[in-house]
Chains A and B, each alone.
Chain A
Amino acid sequence: MKAVCWQGVNKLSTETVPDPEIRNDQDVIVKVGLSTTCGSDLHLIGGYIPAMEAGDVLGHEFLGEVVEVGPGVGRHKVGDRVVVASFIGCGRCWYCENDLWSLCDNTNTNPGITSVAYGYEPGGIFGYSHAMGGFRGSHAEYIRVPFADYGAFPVPPEVDDHSALFVSDSVPTGWMGADLGGVRPGDVVAVWGCGAVGQMAARAAILLGAERVFSIDRIPERLAMTERHIGSEVIDYSSTDVGAELREHTGGRGPDVCIEAVGMEAHSAGPHHVYDQVKQQLRLQSDRPTAVREAIHACRKGGTVFVLGVFGGLVDKFPLGAVINKGLTVRGAQQHGQRYIPMLLDRIAGGEISTRHLVTHELSLDEGAKGYELFKHKEDGCVRAVFDPSRVVGDPRATGVGRSGTGYA
């Protein structure tokens, strides 16, 4: 089968690789319908998470059709249309039973790697390096899904593929930021980043009753998209002082909840961006925490900062003094998707959450490298490049429902 493979730092290619097979009784094999690029893939591609091997298949946010079922699977049958949580949860360890699915005890097959870095290992994830389990990714024609009874969810007929795709990761990740960030009715919330996850976090905050939600970015198309489809107010950090704007809009208090949805390759308009980039390139810090710092400074006294962006290791100039002296709660997590996915599918079916607009580019698997180039450099208004294995290069079908008009709810 065809698959988009990592071949080395900043090198991708589409290869023919062996088809996946049932390796555990509780596996299913899914024929991939759609699989999207994600900002966190860029950290792997750029070599910031050095646990990839040449030939590893990328991709962790996907949906498709069940085509083979292991003998231990009880909730799925061949032909089911399913969306799959990007983190793999066994469903029966203490963490899964307590809805902390990305911390599953039984799905990271290489616990020794991340327990050195983090103290304890997180769960396994599709297509996200050998440090996170060594599972093949979804930018392929087929993918094996372990513990499918717990991680694959039937898509209601009224929800189309382009809408359901993002329920695999972006929508639950964003929802989790607002939910575990403790957003309550009447709150003012600020969200750093207008990518898919940031947009979904802002939408979640609105649905959880926040009175005002501000989304912060520098890319005009993303700011416009967020304003139009999510309904939050937007701040362009390249043309204004974000902290001053937030103070002005919150009566001088600062936001109650600040959600960072940017991650380890953050940009900023100030000189600290150059500082962070130099330190990162010299391997003196692994991640650039620019947006986290800004969120901590902007947050009101006693407020909450939730870190949704993916960070891999160590950061410099972390404002711990502000955390302590302002009495902040700082939380973070990889997504506990299984906790939210059924509820989110219902909300999408009910029209409360719109996701189709995120699909700005649709490509074939043969265009894997091109898709990531578009996505990484945000060329041509790219928010998400989505791979459709049924497509061919030069496919006559329209590319990008988010740009063609059909994505606008």
Chain B
Amino acid sequence: MARTSADTVRHTRPTRGRRPLRTGAFLAAGVAVGRAVAKTVPKMLAARRATPHGDATWLVVTVNATPDVVTADQRLSDAVADLGTAVETRLTPAPGGRGTEIAARVQRTGTAGAPSANDLRLVLRQVKSQIETGEVVRPDPPTTGRRTPGGALVRAATRRAGGEGRL
């Protein structure tokens, strides 16, 4: 037998007696979610704040070259020297013959003039590209100076994108 719309309404409409219970459940759920957010977000933000100069965080790239080749390449030591004395590096052979892992971190939290995590990532990527290919590829310049709101967002993203992401 076909169900009428009236049936549907009758079955789905909440009764008066149930309403306070439901409202209470929603409120309780809202409070629980609010508490969880209040607890989690500051931790996440603190972790992100800590990352740029966090002693525990190594940023790592794998270069497709043997440790001998990487060690002998002056471009790595020059780039690290340019970052200042607070940067510590270590080289490890990558498993499976995948080359060499170059890890870098800032040794002391809050050192004046110490590079940010973005600076460090950018340099690691550039060194990797130079060792592997001999150059760092450059994007094409914009074709136009025309500014649009969407374009401003894209430009803001691309200004930082070379040093962001996961390493």
Chain A interface (Cβ < 8 Å from any Cβ of B): 3, 5, 8, 15, 17-18, 20, 23-26, 50-57, 72, 88, 90-94, 97, 105-107, 109-116, 119-121, 124, 130, 133-136, 144, 146-147
Does B135 contact A55, Cβ atoms closer than 8 Å? no
Nearest 3 pairs between A and B by C-beta? A112-B164, A55-B144, A115-B165
Does A72 contact B161, Cβ atoms closer than 8 Å? no
Does B164 contact A133, Cβ atoms closer than 8 Å? no
Residue of A nearest to B133 (CB): A90
Does A136 contact B151, Cβ atoms closer than 8 Å? no
Contact A133/B161 with A25-B134, A53-B154, A55-B144 known, Cβ cut-off 8 Å = no
Which of A23, A52, A136 is in CB contact (< 8 Å) with B138?
A23
Contact A18/B141 with A109-B162, A110-B162, A112-B162 known, Cβ cut-off 8 Å = yes
Chain B interface (Cβ < 8 Å from any Cβ of A): 62, 64, 98-99, 125, 128-129, 132-144, 146, 148, 150-151, 154-155, 157-158, 160-166
Contacts of B64 in A (CB 8 A): 92-94, 97
B165 to chain A, nearest CB (A): 3
Residue of B nearest to A18 (CB): B143
Does A26 contact B134, Cβ atoms closer than 8 Å? yes
Which of A8, A97, A134, A136 is in CB contact (< 8 Å) with B150?
A8
5 contacts between A and B (CB under 8 A): A53-B148, A55-B144, A111-B165, A116-B165, A147-B133
Which of A52, A106, A119 is in CB contact (< 8 Å) with B137?
A106
Contact A90/B140 with A53-B151, A112-B163 known, Cβ cut-off 8 Å = no
Contacts of B161 in A (CB 8 A): 109-113, 130
A73 to chain B, nearest CB (A): 12
Residue of A nearest to B152 (CB): A53
Residue of A nearest to B139 (CB): A134
Contacts of A109 in B (CB 8 A): 137-139, 161-162
| A interface: dominant SS | loop
Does B138 contact A24, Cβ atoms closer than 8 Å? yes
Contacts of A5 in B (CB 8 A): 143-144
B137 to chain A, nearest CB (A): 5
B76 to chain A, nearest CB (A): 16
Contacts of A112 in B (CB 8 A): 157, 160-165
Residue of B nearest to A70 (CB): B135
Which of B133, B154, B163, B166 is in CB contact (< 8 Å) with A130?
B154
B67 to chain A, nearest CB (A): 15
Contacts of B163 in A (CB 8 A): 112
In the docked arrangement, what's the CA distance between A124 and B139, Å?
A: 10
Does B144 contact A136, Cβ atoms closer than 8 Å? no
Does A26 contact B157, Cβ atoms closer than 8 Å? no
In the docked arrangement, what's the CA distance between A144 and B140, Å?
A: 8
Contacts of A52 in B (CB 8 A): 150, 154
Does B148 contact A8, Cβ atoms closer than 8 Å? yes
Contacts of B138 in A (CB 8 A): 23-24, 109
Does B142 contact A92, Cβ atoms closer than 8 Å? no
Contact A24/B142 with A110-B162, A112-B161, A121-B165 known, Cβ cut-off 8 Å = no
In the docked arrangement, what's the CA distance between A252 and B100, Å?
A: 51
Residue of B nearest to A120 (CB): B166
Does A115 contact B164, Cβ atoms closer than 8 Å? yes
Additional pairs, 8, CB under 8 Å, beyond known A52-B154, A53-B148, A120-B165: A17-B144, A106-B133, A109-B139, A113-B161, A119-B166, A130-B157, A133-B139, A135-B139
Does B144 contact A111, Cβ atoms closer than 8 Å? no
Does B162 contact A50, Cβ atoms closer than 8 Å? no
B71 to chain A, nearest CB (A): 18
Contacts of B125 in A (CB 8 A): 111
Contacts of A116 in B (CB 8 A): 164-165
Contact A17/B157 with A92-B64, A106-B132 known, Cβ cut-off 8 Å = no
In the docked arrangement, what's the CA distance between A90 and B137, Å?
A: 9
B145 to chain A, nearest CB (A): 8
In the docked arrangement, what's the CA distance between A147 and B146, Å?
A: 30
Which of A25, A54, A146 is in CB contact (< 8 Å) with B146?
A54
In the docked arrangement, what's the CA distance between A18 and B154, Å?
A: 21
In the docked arrangement, what's the CA distance between A349 and B82, Å?
A: 53
Residue of A nearest to B138 (CB): A23
Residue of B nearest to A135 (CB): B140
In the docked arrangement, what's the CA distance between A146 and B129, Å?
A: 13
Does A134 contact B158, Cβ atoms closer than 8 Å? yes
Contacts of B165 in A (CB 8 A): 111-116, 120-121
Residue of A nearest to B137 (CB): A146
A338 to chain B, nearest CB (A): 14
Which of A17, A72, A90 is in CB contact (< 8 Å) with B143?
A17
Contacts of A55 in B (CB 8 A): 142-144, 146
Does B143 contact A15, Cβ atoms closer than 8 Å? yes
Does B162 contact A20, Cβ atoms closer than 8 Å? no
In the docked arrangement, what's the CA distance between A105 and B146, Å?
A: 31
In the docked arrangement, what's the CA distance between A116 and B157, Å?
A: 11
Contacts of B62 in A (CB 8 A): 94
Contact A72/B158 with A50-B150, A54-B148, A55-B146 known, Cβ cut-off 8 Å = no
A249 to chain B, nearest CB (A): 38
Does B160 contact A15, Cβ atoms closer than 8 Å? no
